Structure 1
């Protein structure tokens, strides 16, 4: 029983991780009976040679159980799950679009071409799944306890129309996008790293804000690079490196917090006059109620416009496209908006830094400036 519990728990975890395109785990008769079918994966097939391939570890047990994979359109499966009480179990599985009998060690199924990509739910069931009578269940405990180890490959056609692409329709193109983004970051870094470093090294009123902006940019570039590494591995095995994907999300989140902190600092009175005592420390601001209220309003306005508002605005815009394209459009557009806003802010702060540098230099070197030394000389005469 303990072994059965562990296998059931592992199968539940695998069901929660059904976004993977190479799924390894165990088919559980007990879980399939409890849930009215064990959902194993979801995938958006497209093209003419999409392929589902399922390899099992114990053919004899699968044959004895009459194990099958059922393919439902996602909307059909969700509807059937909501209507479980009113739908007979056997009738539910009879409505599957495709049925694959797991009677071989390797079972392959070509998915037909559609006018547009379709989201499919892959569900496991066997002859014990729909047993409701206690008498019918007797004598099946031993067979139920035998889980079937499996590996499920979900593949779309690649550029050569061969079923080798692990990316589903809503993910296709993201790998190339992150490659181009990383390449752009590398080229920009080669061109602008030295001028930016010189600006930071010179000090001045924009010294700290350039450092904060640079850290945010590095975090954003790190998120793009880790996403690219994850998707590169994903394109090979359909699993990738989930830790890198989580790290990319963390870097992006910290970068956004960094940007919010910088905008808040600027709106709270972090001005040229305060640089003398705050340049060597973190950004600081006045904390009077009036300045705080003004800063909050200003940050909300600037952060929605420049950074954070782009996400809900793009979500609304993406509703004009097909459902399978929306998430991809949002990811690409938000990333580009954040990168462009970084460039705009860099140009702004570097130009302000140069303006301050020229102004400071002119106050000392130009003969007609009204510096304190000249004013004192004129007043004494």
Structure 2
């Protein structure tokens, strides 16, 4: 597991970055010719007072090259790819001639959020075969703004990102309040140990990692709201902590269910769903974890323009395989738990298994279900619905599992162990003789 985590760190932190809504870089004639217009960024404007600002370091060179910025409203990449070079440039809704150090282009009022693409072109873009003079590339800064609450163009957030900053603030507030309330009993349970000590440690670690991911996202978006760039390292760390939390939870759930099933012939029926370190169960758990980790990394980097979100709606091959993996694992655990429940006579034990199943299925199926439900939402709402929904559902799933394993009555009936080894039990001396 340590090698897997080290690999995740390297790939997340040193992988390709994403472009913010303050975009800096170089306008290149060669790149513009190859792409029939150099792609700069994409932004979703909403409401009125939208603004696109372009700043240049060498306006004289830009005027000599007849440089211009092209803005396309609500046009898919496939629509532009089918056009010839001259047709593509003529389809721009706005053309900004770059002959000054700073240019401001106002975006007309949008009845509903609309995606705009920004491309660069110059007089060499459509001259196929012609020699491009050995000019240096143009260094630029492009800023894109939506209207803020006061109607002024100062909001760096695109329409599909609006509201995420406030969500992470409320999530962190909820984590802080819950931590203040439950940290002491949880610490006592972990300190006492018991048969579910490893499960509680993994649950605590996964929940703490989700909190770290939320904190990093909040810091990144707080900075982003001021400069449109944010702290990309924080965004990458947020994705990394979330991925580690995901693989930790998967390893725990597979170890509990598969370990009990593979060793059911020699494990006492009074002690089901406990961590099993047999080679077969470990191999199954590690295989599932590695597969999910590879698909998570592939999904994160399959689209270099995607923002720092841990859950994406785009229908990439990696995303579809990840959804299929989660559905398949949910079906696998459902078959295992069905076998357990169908042979169990105790009502309390069946309730324990059913509650455990609810927590597992909520954790596995929330992403596939929300992606399926997102088709009914508008384009600018899909990413937010999936991101917010999955984080909330998986947090609820962890709370359900916490409540289950820390419950004294059901936990006692399922484990049938001495009160000496149970966390959060009654006094040892007062109740030792009752069981």
TM-score, normalising length from structure 2?
0.71
Q: In the alignment, does 2:248 pair up with 1:258?
A: yes
Name the SS of the counterpart of 1:103 in structure 2.
Answer: coil
The one of 172, 179, 182 equivalent to 2:162 is: 172
The answer on whether the counterparts of 2:74 and 2:116 sit within 8 Å (CA) in structure 1 is yes
1:355 shift after superposition: 5.0
* Distance in 1 of aligned mates of 2:382 and 2:153: 24
The answer on whether the counterparts of 2:405 and 2:411 sit within 8 Å (CA) in structure 1 is no
Q: In the alignment, does 2:133 pair up with 1:141?
A: yes
1:41 shift after superposition: 0.7
* 1:8 match: none
* 2:144 match: 154
The answer on whether the counterparts of 2:330 and 2:364 sit within 8 Å (CA) in structure 1 is no
* 2:325 match: none
Q: In the alignment, does 2:227 pair up with 1:237?
A: yes
* 1:205 match: 195
* Distance in 2 of aligned mates of 1:78 and 1:239: 28
* 1:284 match: 276
1:265 shift after superposition: 2.4
* Distance in 1 of aligned mates of 2:59 and 2:87: 26
CA 1:64–1:257 in structure 2 vs 1: closer, same or farther (change >3 Å)?
Answer: same
Kindly provide the CA deviation profile for residues 279-327 of structure 1, in whole angstroms up to 9, marking residues without a partner as x. 9xxx4344679xx799992278858612121111100001100012101
The one of 95, 114, 118 equivalent to 1:118 is: 114
* 1:320 match: 376
CA 1:65–1:180 in structure 2 vs 1: closer, same or farther (change >3 Å)?
Answer: same
CA 1:150–1:17 in structure 2 vs 1: closer, same or farther (change >3 Å)?
Answer: farther
Q: In the alignment, does 2:215 pair up with 1:225?
A: yes
TM-score, normalising length from structure 1?
0.80
1:257 shift after superposition: 1.2
Q: In the alignment, does 2:332 pair up with 1:297?
A: yes
The answer on whether the counterparts of 2:330 and 2:365 sit within 8 Å (CA) in structure 1 is no
The answer on whether the counterparts of 1:216 and 1:258 sit within 8 Å (CA) in structure 2 is yes
Name the SS of the counterpart of 2:47 in structure 1.
Answer: coil
CA 1:67–1:17 in structure 2 vs 1: closer, same or farther (change >3 Å)?
Answer: farther
Name the SS of the counterpart of 1:72 in structure 2.
Answer: strand
Flag structure 1 segments of 5+ consecutive residues without an equivalent.
1-15, 372-381
The answer on whether the counterparts of 1:264 and 1:296 sit within 8 Å (CA) in structure 2 is no
* 1:23 match: 23
* 2:291 match: none
* 2:344 match: none
The answer on whether the counterparts of 2:27 and 2:137 sit within 8 Å (CA) in structure 1 is yes
* 2:70 match: 70
Q: In the alignment, does 2:393 pair up with 1:337?
A: yes
* Distance in 2 of aligned mates of 1:295 and 1:168: 35
1:74 shift after superposition: 4.4
The one of 153, 167, 181 equivalent to 2:171 is: 181
Name the SS of the counterpart of 2:154 in structure 1.
Answer: strand
* Distance in 1 of aligned mates of 2:197 and 2:334: 21
* 1:347 match: 403
1:208 shift after superposition: 2.2
CA 1:182–1:204 in structure 2 vs 1: closer, same or farther (change >3 Å)?
Answer: same
* Distance in 1 of aligned mates of 2:227 and 2:244: 29
Flag structure 2 segments of 5+ consecutive residues without an equivalent.
1-15, 286-328, 338-356, 421-425
Rg comparison, structure with higher value: 1
* Distance in 2 of aligned mates of 1:295 and 1:106: 55
* Distance in 1 of aligned mates of 2:410 and 2:365: 30
1:342-381 correspondence to structure 2 within 5 Å: 342-352=398-408, 356=412, 365=430, 369=434
* Distance in 1 of aligned mates of 2:77 and 2:330: 50
